[in-house]
Amino acid sequence: MRRAIALAASPGVPLHPNPRVGCVLLAGDGTVVGEGFHHGAGTPHAEVEALAMAGDRARGATAVVTLEPCNHTGRTGPCAEALIAAGVDRVIAAQRDPNPQASGGLETLRAAGIETDAGLLADEAAELNRAWTFAHRHGRPFVTWKFATTLDGRSAASDGSSRWVSSLPARRDTHVLRGLCDTMLVGTTTVEVDDPHLTVRGEDDQPLGVQPLRVVMGKRELPAGRRVFDDAAETVHLRTRDPELALRTLYAEHDRHHVFLEGGPTLAAAFLKAGLVDEVITYIAPMLLGNGTSAVGPLGIGSIDDALRLEIVDTTVVGKGTEANVRLVLRPVQQED
């Protein structure tokens, strides 16, 4: 199973829209006769690739796979049926499939007389597809709120200027994190005031790889000339101020699993008050403003006892010298993993 997990995590495999999956086929004496991994949407699934490598040696083999074999026909056929046709004797899956459209593969295998087991290294397998798993379990995307702040919690100076609170190394680091998500989300005010491009760019400031969906949330009409409406990536305007409705729309209608929230303090407060922030990433710059825009709007908290408490998951210094920022990764203590 650890080999299957390593295969699933092979470099270059897209993080979305499909899960990363690895498979190893073992003969009766424990010899590896086939292995494979899913290379992305529209390509053969891990089980099919492993079966192709094994050929006739798949008959009587044990399939060890990181995710329950799919049970539906999409761009490719159901892996459960492929395993049955190949004549495998046993299937061991780490994680059960949380996607109701594809689950049920183990039941199909058992009905065909194939021995099945599930749960081996399930947590490690689920971590491979953290946002994908979360989205299918909760019916909405996983939300990462990212912001930059000074030591005294300001995201902009009193004159409104905010470029640049974070350093150049921190901004480049942000683009790496953007590339791990499938959706960039901001509010209409951010589009009006900052005119962000909301793309993933390399050190040469040119677009890099497959771009996330750009989403603007809010009812206000926006000028067509804003950069977020260019052809660098797809953009959707969700005409709502309801964070829960926005997330469920992104999941149900756009197949989105991981939102990177980069809006201003008002939008951030709306998501926080709704309990819809699952991870916080902040870049803290070694500067003081003493006044200006707070990093987050009012949360309706009047007492220290009611504070929204966060657990620090990771701390990293990004950059050196005067260009150094501290990147904190946190998660709300009350939130589900």
Q: What is the dihedral of CA 144, 149, 153, 157, to 10 degrees?
A: -130
> Could you tell me whether strands 32-37 and 90-95 are parallel, antiparallel, or unpaired per DSSP bridges?
unpaired
- Domains of the chain with CATH codes: 2-128 (3.40.140.10), 134-332 (3.40.430.10)
SS3 142: strand
SS3 311: strand
Q: Which residues pair with 148 in a beta bridge?
A: 283
Question: Active site includes 279?
Answer: no
Residues 193-228 have pLDDT tens digits of: 889 999 999 988 888 888 999 999 999 999 889 999
Q: Tally Cβ neighbours within 10 Å of residue 74.
A: 13
**pTM of structure:** 0.91
Residues 141-165 have pLDDT tens digits of: 999 999 999 999 999 888 877 677 8
pLDDT of 162: 67
Per the residue annotation, which of 47, 49, 262, 279 is the catalytic one? 47
What's the rounded Cα separation, in Å, for the pair 121 and 124?
5
All residue ranges of the chain with pLDDT < 70 are: 75, 162, 334-337
10 Å CB burial of residue 299 (0-12, 13-18, 19+) is: middle
Q: Which residues pair with 237 in a beta bridge?
A: 216
Residue reference for tokens 């901001």: 186
pLDDT of 334: 65
What's the rounded Cα separation, in Å, for the pair 336 and 312?
15
What's the rounded Cα separation, in Å, for the pair 15 and 260?
14
Distance set, CA 160 to CA 136, 165, 186, 292, 317 (Å):
39, 12, 17, 7, 27
Residues 33-47 have pLDDT tens digits of: 999 999 988 889 999
pLDDT of 337: 44
